[in-house]
């Protein structure tokens, strides 16, 4: 079992819709959860991080964490063509510095 699992996509949504990206992780000791966005040929950039169960909102983005189900998601409201990118879920184990990434989900927002 991979430490961090994501569907590689592509996930296609129409402009203005909500995009829902999902991620599961295997280490129950994980304490830090991150979503990064990566445009083709570029380095990843942080969108959000979340530590506590529940929702965390930042503008059009909402991260959701459910530690009991070992599940973290990212919602993008009012999706724009500029949101088209690969979204990487990353997790670290509790008390450790190692950060492990999923394969990433490619999002395509159709105008």
What's the number of CA atoms in the CB half-sphere (13 Å) around residue 33? 31
Dig out the tokens for 25 from the structure: 């992780």
Using CB under 8 A as the binding rule, whether residue 31 contacts other proteins is answered as yes
CA–CA distance, 25 with 3 (Å, rounded to integer) = 5
Extended strands (E) in the chain: 4-5, 11-14, 19-25, 30-38, 45-50, 54-58, 61-66, 71-76, 85-93, 99-101, 105-110
Using CB under 8 A as the binding rule, whether residue 46 contacts other proteins is answered as yes
Using CB under 8 A as the binding rule, whether residue 70 contacts other proteins is answered as no
Binding region for other proteins (CB under 8 A) out of 3-11, 12-20, 59-67, 70-78: 3-11
Using CB under 8 A as the binding rule, whether residue 26 contacts other proteins is answered as no
Nearer to other proteins, 75 or 103 (CB): 103
Q: Which position among 45, 55, 57, 78 is part of the footprint of other proteins (CB under 8 A)?
A: 45
| Interacting residues with other proteins (CB under 8 A) | 4, 6, 8, 31-32, 34, 36, 42-46, 49, 51, 88, 90, 92, 95-104
């Amino acid at each position: 079992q991979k430490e961090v699992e994501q569907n590689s996509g592509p996930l296609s949504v129409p402009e203005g819709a909500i995009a829902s990206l999902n991620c599961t992780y295997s280490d129950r000791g994980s304490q830090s959860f991150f979503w990064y966005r990566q445009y083709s040929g570029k380095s990843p950039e942080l969108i959000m991080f979340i530590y506590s169960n529940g929702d965390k909102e930042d503008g059009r983005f909402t991260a959701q964490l459910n530690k009991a189900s070992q599940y973290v998601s990212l919602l993008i409201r009012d999706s724009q063509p500029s949101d088209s990118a690969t979204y990487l879920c990353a997790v670290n184990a509790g008390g450790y510095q190692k950060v492990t990434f999923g394969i990433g989900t490619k999002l395509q927002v159709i105008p």
